[in-house]
C-alpha cells in the first residue's frame, strides 16, 4: 500500500525554527517534494529531494533518508506569512504519479 504520514497541526512562534516531519511507505520512489498551500490557494513548490541528505533553500531546508522512508522540512526565522499547510508528496517510480500527504497546518503566532 501507499501511505504518507505528517502531523496534522503544529504551532510555532514568530522568529523560531520549526521542523515538520513526513514518513512514507510507497510502491516505488522517485523523489519527495514539499509544497506550501495557503488556505483557498494552490500549492506552491518549496523543495525536492531524491538523494539522501539536506537541501537548503534560503529559510527552508529539506532532509531525506530513503532507507528510513523519512523526510523533514525545516523552516527558520518563522514569519507570520508562513502560516499555511505544508504538503509532503512522493513521486512514484513511473514518474508522473505524485501522492500527497494530508498536510500539516502550521500556525505561526506572535
Site string for another protein, 47-86 (x = CB under 8 A): -x--------------------------------------
Among 12, 26, 33, 62, binds another protein (CB under 8 A): 33
Choose among 59, 50, 54: nearest CA to 78: 59
Give the nearer residue to another protein in terms of CB position, either 17 or 38. Answer: 38
CB distance 12 to 24 below 8 Å? no
Q: Supply the minimum distance, in Å, between the C-beta of residue 39 and another protein.
A: 9
Backbone angles phi, psi at 85, to 5 degrees: -95, 140
The residues near 5 (Cβ < 8 Å, ≥ 6 apart) are 22, 23, 24, 101
Question: What is the contact surface with another protein in residues (CB under 8 A)?
Answer: 30-31, 33, 41-45, 48, 87, 89, 91, 94-103
Amino acid at each position: 500500500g501507499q501511505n504518507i504520514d505528517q502531523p496534522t497541526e503544529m504551532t510555532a512562534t514568530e522568529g523560531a525554527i520549526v521542523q515538520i516531519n513526513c514518513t512514507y511507505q510507497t510502491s516505488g520512489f522517485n523523489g519527495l517534494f514539499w509544497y506550501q498551500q495557503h488556505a483557498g490557494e494552490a500549492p506552491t513548490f518549496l523543495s525536492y529531494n531524491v538523494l539522501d541528505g539536506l537541501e537548503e533553500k534560503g529559510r527552508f531546508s529539506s532532509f531525506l533518508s530513503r532507507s528510513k522512508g523519512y523526510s523533514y522540512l525545516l523552516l527558520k526565522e518563522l514569519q507570520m506569512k508562513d502560516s499555511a499547510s505544508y504538503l509532503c508528496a512522493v513521486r512514484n517510480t513511473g514518474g508522473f504519479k505524485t501522492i500527497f500527504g494530508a498536510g500539516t497546518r502550521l500556525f505561526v503566532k506572535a
